[in-house]
Amino acid sequence: MSNTVQPRTLSGFMELLPDRQLQFEAMAEVLRKVYSSYGFYPLDTPVLEAAEVLLAKGGGETEKQIYRFTKGDADLAMRFDLTVPLAKYVALNYGSLAFPFRRYQIGKVYRGERAQRGRYREFYQADIDIIGDGELDIINEAEIPAIIYDSFTRLGLKRFKIRVNNRKLLSGFFNMLDSGLEAQDIMRVIDKLDKIGIDKVRAELAEMGMTGEAVDMVAGFVGRQGATGEILKGLEDYRGRDELFDRGLDELGAVVRYLGDFGVPEENFGVDLTIARGLDYYTGTVYETTMLDHPEIGSVCSGGRYDDLAGFYTNKKLPGVGISIGLTRLFYVLDEMNYISQDRAPSSVDVLVLPMGDDLSAPVSFARVMREKGLKAQIYYETKKFKAKMAYADRIKAPFAAIFGEDEIAAGKVSIKNMATGEQETVDYDRAAELLLERAGRTRGESIIEEKHE
Amino acid sequence: MSNTVQPRTLSGFMELLPDRQLQFEAMAEVLRKVYSSYGFYPLDTPVLEAAEVLLAKGGGETEKQIYRFTKGDADLAMRFDLTVPLAKYVALNYGSLAFPFRRYQIGKVYRGERAQRGRYREFYQADIDIIGDGELDIINEAEIPAIIYDSFTRLGLKRFKIRVNNRKLLSGFFNMLDSGLEAQDIMRVIDKLDKIGIDKVRAELAEMGMTGEAVDMVAGFVGRQGATGEILKGLEDYRGRDELFDRGLDELGAVVRYLGDFGVPEENFGVDLTIARGLDYYTGTVYETTMLDHPEIGSVCSGGRYDDLAGFYTNKKLPGVGISIGLTRLFYVLDEMNYISQDRAPSSVDVLVLPMGDDLSAPVSFARVMREKGLKAQIYYETKKFKAKMAYADRIKAPFAAIFGEDEIAAGKVSIKNMATGEQETVDYDRAAELLLERAGRTRGESIIEEKHE
């Protein structure tokens, strides 16, 4: 054909080959299961919204990146996160929702960023939020680390740490310093602690005009590392000097109190007083999650407590707490680290059924029986040589082939070939189902991620 | 707040309340399961494509409806179906795919149609396609009715009919007529058969200049109704008069031969010689699926065999067969018919855990144990009166409440209240899990659709 158009996918848009898509789906399915297990409703809001509604909050860095256009006389925009649509949804349906309203949404969002490796213009976010009507108990904030822990553990990860801080604690502490400096500027220096060390942090703060006493306080504050209990104990030293700080300390105490009951191990959790997560939106607990062997990729699950979800849509006070996993980016970085298991790759079938002759009754019936037992069975219908049929079974990574030759059909049996070992046995359908179910049951529970430790 | 923006969702965009979303998700999940059980890979292509690529085929009614815009110097468009992205994907990844390539995709597509009741601008399609490399065996076409049957049956529908025809048969038959009329024009008259009856069809055809003999042939052809076997037998009368017709008849015979083995009952299947499905794209078997008690809504699952999936992207010959379910529209019409069960509505939790005092250790641990058993457990953390807690349990349609008062905690037990019957018993955690699992296991297999027969 002469008039063909070159097929291509836009840069910055992840489009996976079939086997990789199976892996991605397995990850999304884990998150759906974990989020559901905590009683979150699934939600599905439109990708397109009225630009006026989506940009109600206005300004900000993201606005430049938004896909915005007109059709007819409608000014439209593609969603750039799942939080603004949630705010719209809750404001719009306020009277129909039961509060606390718990929802998860796993959906694509759009940001026309400059394309670069590992940066996507279309990507999945996997969000949960708990929204209160006027008020929301602190214990909701305590539950979040448990959800993060379950999510990452079920994905197959072990070496991660959920880091928690409290914005009231931080703001209260900055109040105490009485340094005349902007909180942002202090945070920017503190952020560099890991890289430049405490002495240089002290020097920079002094250079900015901070008094020696204040510098000592900062050093004392950020120097508090170690087990959660010790840090909390140390923070008691500051109690009574700032009301906001005291409330933050109480909240942090409440968040860590039930960690054991929630099943979050000590080694996967830590209080980190250097976490701020932007200084406007969040008002209480803030969360970051980092991979212990790969700190360079930054936080893979972040969020926090906010007091006012939808102030730009409604005068109802809607406090909440939420976290977000950038699923597309997470898949990309796990793959870059070689964490996505090749051995445990899910396959599109549990069995590939191979008719050897023209009579398809037996293979068709067999496949139906296997499906009724919850197995994935595909029949290969093409008239090809045996070798080509086996090559296809290999290419789609079928764990078993079910071969129907004349002998098998005459005997009412089937030959089940284990594609990994090459072993083959001729059995009746019941035994075949047993063989297939045994493997399917064993492998479906497996996580697709395997950490590699150098 | 004074500067609020009125929150709204664009018209033509379905956005469901939480309980309704659970029902929609249940439907999508059924389709995912059925499609997977036949060995289809999930696929996920971008919502945005280069306009040049998406509109390679060009022209057509849909082009006017497309959401197309520029960002920077990129000319972009939102996908309007899942077939063009599939064609692009297969052409682009030809060397990496195993053929036949079987994929399903359940995704949103966009058409800026004039908004009207029941018409959506953003809607889900749930597609499967089987693509061959150069060739594709006819038996693939025979498998499609089995997949449609499984899908609709698992959704809970019984009163539907999968109608099948063959485009070769139809084209061959029109060749025989030698009427000088366009196939489209003849089809348009035949389409009216149900409404105006055979006499008026005959009259219209004669008026168009068809000879008496040809009119008799058409009447004889479309008059063939009844059981599949009888229709096929009757069609044998025309054999030998047109090569294309004969091939079509052979193909139709092959498609129906294994219906029994595939598990498709006679009453859910029929040959319907009046089905054409547009006259360009499809080249063999064509499918429509109608609701027996609601013919007015038209086909809810359609598709067919095509010979050239991606001719506008590649010179590779890629024949295939596929079907599409318009999931958003299906949900809408089932709801309009009152088919979406209120009794069997899925709930966001299996149990709502209600702590009565300040000590949350027991309720938190209990919820964790229930989740480990695969149950959905939510804890209500707010400090409210008992009545308000129970009202919340009712509003989120929790089937059970797990009440933790001082007595329960002291005894290491929990009071499980059946929210439907009001019965309450104080039991240990194991017994509680049994109670919850029994109901969850029973209801999760239930379909959310219940046909109502007037």
- 3-state SS of chain A is CCCCCCCCCCCCECCCCHHHHHHHHHHHHHHHHHHHHCCCEECCCCCEEEHHHHCCCCCCCHHHHCCEEEECCEEEEECCCCHHHHHHHHHHCHHHCCCCEEEEEEEEEECCCCCCCCCCCEEEEEEEEEECCCCCCCHHHHHHHHHHHHHHHHHCCCCEEEEEEEHHHHHHHHHHHCCCCCHHHHHHHHHCHHHHHHHHHHHHHHHCCCCHHHHHHHHHHHCCCCCHHHHHHHHHHHCCCCHHHHHHHHHHHHHHHCHHHHCCCHHHEEECCCCCCCCCCEEEEEEEEEECCCHHHCCCCEEEEECCCCCCCCCCCCCEEEEEEEHHHHHHHHHHCCCECCCCCCCCCCEEEEECCCCCHHHHHHHHHHHHCCCCEEECCCCCCHHHHHHHHHHCCCCEEEEECHHHHHHCCEEEEECCCCCEEEECHHHHHHHHHHHHHHHHCCCCECCCCC
pLDDT of residue B180: 85
Q: What is the pLDDT of residues B86-137, one digit of tens each?
A: 999 999 999 999 999 999 999 999 999 887 888 899 999 999 999 999 999 9
**Whether A76 and B103 lie within 8 Å, measured CB to CB:** no
Distance CA A83, CA A321 (A): 11
Distance CA B334, CA B337 (A): 5
Cβ of residue B96 closer than 8 Å to a chain A Cβ:
yes
pLDDT of residue B55: 93
* Closest Cβ opposite residue A37 in set B40, B103, B376: B376
Distance CA B367, CA A128 (A): 18
- The CA distance from B152 to the nearest CA of chain A, in Å, is 15
* Closest Cβ opposite residue B8 in set A1, A50, A96: A50
Q: What is the pLDDT of residues A378-394, one digit of tens each?
A: 999 999 999 999 999 99
Average pLDDT over residues B227-238: 94
**Whether B74 and A10 lie within 8 Å, measured CB to CB:** yes
Q: Which of B333, B281, B332 is nearest to B307 (CA)?
A: B281
Average pLDDT over residues A269-293: 89
Which of B41, B75, B111, B358 should be substituted to probe chain A, the one whose Cβ sees the most A Cβ atoms within 10 Å? B41
% of chain B with per-residue pLDDT over 70: 98
Distance CA B32, CA B104 (A): 8
What SS3 state is found at B369?
helix
> Residues of A with CB below 8 A from B108's CB?
47
Angle of the B212-222 helix axis to the B193-207 helix axis, nearest 10: 160
pLDDT of residue B7: 96
Could you tell me if A30 and A353 are in contact, meaning their C-beta atoms sit under 8 angstroms apart?
no
Count how many residues are written for chain A: 454
- Greater confidence (A210 vs A444) lies with A210
Could you tell me if A376 and A396 are in contact, meaning their C-beta atoms sit under 8 angstroms apart?
no
% of chain A with per-residue pLDDT over 70: 98
Phi-psi region for residue A216, left (φ > 0), alpha (ψ -120 to 50) or beta? alpha
pLDDT of residue B447: 82
pLDDT of residue A224: 84
Angle of the B193-207 helix axis to the B183-190 helix axis, nearest 10: 140
> Residues of A with CB below 8 A from B375's CB?
37
A3 pLDDT more than 80 = no
Locate the DSSP E strands across B235-365: 269-271, 282-291, 302-306, 320-326, 351-355
Q: What is the pLDDT of residues B242-261, one digit of tens each?
A: 999 999 999 999 999 999 99
**Whether B46 and A7 lie within 8 Å, measured CB to CB:** no
The token duo for B34 is 């059925």
A59 pLDDT more than 70 = no
The residues near B445 (Cβ < 8 Å, ≥ 6 apart) are none
B46 pLDDT more than 70 = yes
Edge to edge, the sheet with strand B68-71 lists B48-50, B74-78, B68-71
H or E segment to which residue B175 belongs: helix B167-177
> Residues of B with CB below 8 A from A59's CB?
none
How far from the centroid of its chain's Cα atoms is residue A302's Cα? 9
pLDDT of residue A277: 76
Count how many residues are written for chain B: 454
Task: Quickly state the pLDDT bin for A322 (edges 50, 70, 90).
Answer: very high
- List the single residue in B with minimal CA-CA distance to A138: B381
- List the single residue in B with minimal CA-CA distance to A390: B98
Q: Examine residue B100 and say whether the peptide bond preceding it is cis (omega within 30 degrees of 0).
A: yes
- List the single residue in B with minimal CA-CA distance to A76: B10
Average pLDDT over residues A354-365: 95
Which of A382, A383, A394, A444 should be substituted to probe chain B, the one whose Cβ sees the most B Cβ atoms within 10 Å? A382
pTM of the entire predicted model: 0.95
Domains along chain A? 11-159+293-340 (3.30.930.10), 163-275 (no CATH), 351-444 (3.40.50.800)
pLDDT of residue B446: 76
Q: What is the pLDDT of residues B316-347, one digit of tens each?
A: 999 999 999 999 999 999 999 999 987 777 89
Distance CA B345, CA B347 (A): 6
Q: Of A274-283, A325-334, B269-278, which has the strongest mean pLDDT?
A: A325-334
Task: Quickly state the pLDDT bin for A451 (edges 50, 70, 90).
Answer: confident
Cβ of residue A18 closer than 8 Å to a chain B Cβ:
yes
Task: Quickly state the pLDDT bin for A1 (edges 50, 70, 90).
Answer: very low
> Residues of B with CB below 8 A from A42's CB?
21-22, 25
pLDDT of residue B59: 62
Could you tell me if B329 and B120 are in contact, meaning their C-beta atoms sit under 8 angstroms apart?
yes
**Whether B41 and A24 lie within 8 Å, measured CB to CB:** no
Residue B263's φ and ψ, nearest 5 degrees, are 85, 20
ipTM of this complex prediction, to 2 decimal places: 0.95
Cβ of residue B366 closer than 8 Å to a chain A Cβ:
no
**Whether B40 and A348 lie within 8 Å, measured CB to CB:** yes
CA distances from B350 to A269, B107, B139, B417 (A): 29, 28, 43, 12
Q: Which of B253, B304, B315 is nearest to B279 (CA)?
A: B304
pLDDT of residue B191: 79
**Whether A15 and B50 lie within 8 Å, measured CB to CB:** no
Could you tell me if A286 and A304 are in contact, meaning their C-beta atoms sit under 8 angstroms apart?
yes
Q: What is the pLDDT of residues A68-121, one digit of tens each?
A: 999 999 999 999 999 999 999 999 999 999 999 999 999 999 999 887 888 899
Distance CA B49, CA B10 (A): 22
Task: Quickly state the pLDDT bin for B454 (edges 50, 70, 90).
Answer: low
Task: Quickly state the pLDDT bin for A331 (edges 50, 70, 90).
Answer: very high
For residue B448, with 0-12 CB atoms within 10 Å meaning exposed, 13-18 middle and 19 or more buried, which class applies? buried
Interface of A with B in 187-246 (CB under 8 A): none
**Whether B312 and A395 lie within 8 Å, measured CB to CB:** no
Could you tell me if A449 and A342 are in contact, meaning their C-beta atoms sit under 8 angstroms apart?
no
What single DSSP character describes residue B6? P
* Closest Cβ opposite residue A378 in set B38, B378, B395: B38
**Whether A261 and B13 lie within 8 Å, measured CB to CB:** no
Interface of A with B in 379-408 (CB under 8 A): 379-383, 392, 395-396
pLDDT of residue B1: 44
- Greater confidence (B433 vs B63) lies with B433
- List the single residue in A with minimal CA-CA distance to B40: A348
